[in-house]
Chains A and B, each alone.
Chain A
């Protein structure tokens, strides 16, 4: 067996660490999707009329749409009537503070290494935890409140800050944007909401953990982040799900809104259950993430580390509307076994002197397929726009695939667009060099892969960079020999 094949074996034999489930008494909608279900969800959440109407409009539009077939992924067609659209762990009313949160829930998150009890938390990180369909706890709320920062669950934002939600919801990702965004708009159950007032630099990382627990349940969360003039926020999202034989659907929407000279840094460490080594089970991850640099000199930076999910369909994008605005996309996507990922970004240059930077690092192993799909669009009035794209693929073994689909549309002659792409393999020479220094093969592969992904990993907040590095290593962990 060659070295590459051994590595491949290890890859396929490693196990998913977060594959356990917890028996939570939950409040669940009947299977299937209809106007009644949309009404059921909205009623459960005691939403105002306008939001119900908004959902219903999205639902009606969704019914006229077709699932997109252009991504480079294959899966049996999804029966949307066979999914549960709402499941909430039962709690006595809304918890006001942690002492009211079901201890089982706190334990669930502790098992994931996320402590919701503030004194145990890493200082400098506020957490919102979403399990199945609802947010169960948000930490450090008071401290943030003093600065005028709002960080809470989406449902709470609808209750407490309806004017903000109404003003911005759907402005970056309209409900009819695409099939999955429309579905999400109809049935979204919870998510995180974040508002940074003018001139405020958020002093801590804001972080949301998503967890799918219940069976046959889809997760449709929605995140909305608004950064007023001259503000700054760094936000991190993490996700896991139990091992199940059937596929589960996750269709989220994230909207970012950056005003003049505001900066939003959005990082994701995605570790949904990828399915077993024969390709059974796993999460279908169909996500729409988009940010608008609405004001001049604003900046949005996406960083993602994608290691999980059976199928990933995801293109965190930036609309660079303000002059001198800046968009960044840093991505590491790892696929193995039968995982399929079609991920990348869109950079839409509208304003003058806009800049964008794309760094994509794909790692494919097993029988997986890993595609980068990216669009750089320089509009006519985007005088003096610049883009730099770097798309690298790393192959492990010879049964996987790496693909690159860059689309470049330039409508203004003053634009500078640069695209670089490389494909490489982990060399036996590199592995042997490590072995000769006393580093075993498993650690060698982790070292090489982390080195390869370094440019992206270093974009993550410190605490999470370490976590992501471990996750990459864990993805490669298995049985050597």
Chain B
């Protein structure tokens, strides 16, 4: 579904990604781990199509299409979803309104009719249950004076609403207490099917106790330096990132 080949990317004059290769198939869950500043969010931004990051080399194929040629909104409409590490506030726009606009834009792109109020509400109710979010939150201004946990839960709610083919969760676990973490993980697990894929970007192993990845990759200095299964995450947790760093220096 997603084929990342030798991606190099920079912001202004600074090269951040140094040749990333990654292959994600439908039904898979991949975890990308790595120390702060290693380029995890940059990779997520490149996938989502953020302009600030210039891809200087490499290619990305998504469902047989050249992802890099698509506008950010078309990527979203094709099924790429990014749960942001730092969701922004949009004053005066409720999550409900935001999702109604988004969903209808996506449906329009796919040649489907816009949802009427009743169908939208029914869908919303169903997803509220699925991700266990407080409904009153959805009528408030998007992310404005939300707690850290509420912001993250809201991102997962949006993901549930838009039913992406590829979901990228950027540090969705950070700032969550253990209960919130469980709820978020539970939501993600319920949304995982054999047809879609999830990339979980995280700094800690903690989230992976609840969402079991098929593969774990370690990103360091803009490169994937190690790949393995969930045991790799355990090893990282035990030995810390210094272990990777020193290994890299030796090599």
B is bound to A: yes
A440 — which chain B residues lie within 8 A by C-beta? 73, 105
**Known contacts A438-B109, A439-B105, A447-B98: A433-B76 contact under CB 8 Å:** no
Name the residue on A nearest B87 (C-beta).
Answer: A433
Residue A427 CB within 8 A of the other chain: yes
- Among A165-173, A228-236, A283-291, A452-460, the one that faces the other chain is A452-460
> Roughly how many angstroms separate A434 CA and B162 CA in the complex, as a whole number?
13
B102 — which chain A residues lie within 8 A by C-beta? 434, 437-439
Residue B217 CB within 8 A of the other chain: no
B162 — which chain A residues lie within 8 A by C-beta? 437-438
Q: Would you give the shortest CB distance from B102 to chain A, in whole angstroms?
A: 4
A453-B82 in contact (CB<8A): no
> Roughly how many angstroms separate A430 CA and B90 CA in the complex, as a whole number?
7
Contact indicator per residue, chain A 413-451, by CB within 8 Å of chain B (1) or not (0): 000000000000001011011111111110100011011
A437-B158 in contact (CB<8A): yes
> Roughly how many angstroms separate A1 CA and B131 CA in the complex, as a whole number?
40
Contact indicator per residue, chain B 76-91, by CB within 8 Å of chain A (1) or not (0): 1100011010011111
A450 — which chain B residues lie within 8 A by C-beta? 92-93
Q: Categorize the interface residue count of chain A.
A: 20 to 34
Name the residue on A nearest B80 (C-beta).
Answer: A436
**Known contacts A433-B84, A447-B98, A451-B141: A438-B105 contact under CB 8 Å:** yes
B73-A439 in contact (CB<8A): yes
Q: Would you give the shortest CB distance from B144 to chain A, in whole angstroms?
A: 10
Chain A interface SS verdict (over half): helix
B73 — which chain A residues lie within 8 A by C-beta? 435-436, 438-441
Name the residue on B nearest A453 (C-beta).
Answer: B92
B92-A454 in contact (CB<8A): yes
Q: Would you give the shortest CB distance from B225 to chain A, in whole angstroms?
A: 28
> Roughly how many angstroms separate A80 CA and B81 CA in the complex, as a whole number?
60
B77 — which chain A residues lie within 8 A by C-beta? 438
Contact indicator per residue, chain B 196-220, by CB within 8 Å of chain A (1) or not (0): 0000000000000000000000000
A443 — which chain B residues lie within 8 A by C-beta? 101, 105
A448-B72 in contact (CB<8A): no
Residue B226 CB within 8 A of the other chain: no
Name the residue on B nearest A451 (C-beta).
Answer: B92
B93-A436 in contact (CB<8A): no
> Roughly how many angstroms separate A436 CA and B44 CA in the complex, as a whole number?
11
Q: Would you give the shortest CB distance from A480 to chain B, in whole angstroms?
A: 10
A435 — which chain B residues lie within 8 A by C-beta? 49, 71-73, 76
Name the residue on A nearest B52 (C-beta).
Answer: A428
B98-A437 in contact (CB<8A): yes
> Roughly how many angstroms separate A450 CA and B103 CA in the complex, as a whole number?
18
> Roughly how many angstroms separate A285 CA and B91 CA in the complex, as a whole number?
31
Q: Would you give the shortest CB distance from A363 to chain B, in whole angstroms?
A: 12
Q: Would you give the shortest CB distance from B11 to chain A, in whole angstroms?
A: 13
Partner of B101, one of A432, A436, A439: A439
Residue B125 CB within 8 A of the other chain: no
B82-A436 in contact (CB<8A): yes
> Roughly how many angstroms separate A270 CA and B155 CA in the complex, as a whole number?
38
**Known contacts A435-B73, A439-B101: A429-B92 contact under CB 8 Å:** no
Q: Would you give the shortest CB distance from A392 to chain B, in whole angstroms?
A: 9
B109 — which chain A residues lie within 8 A by C-beta? 438
B49 — which chain A residues lie within 8 A by C-beta? 435-436
Residue B245 CB within 8 A of the other chain: no
Q: What are 8 A-B pairs at a CB distance below 8 A?
A: A436-B48, A436-B82, A438-B76, A439-B73, A443-B105, A451-B93, A453-B92, A454-B92
6 tightest A-B CB contacts, nearest first = A451-B92, A451-B93, A454-B92, A437-B102, A438-B76, A435-B72
19 new A-B contacts, CB < 8 A, other than A438-B73, A438-B102, are A427-B88, A430-B90, A432-B50, A434-B98, A435-B49, A436-B76, A437-B98, A437-B162, A438-B77, A438-B103, A440-B105, A441-B73, A447-B101, A448-B90, A451-B90, A451-B93, A453-B92, A454-B93, A455-B92
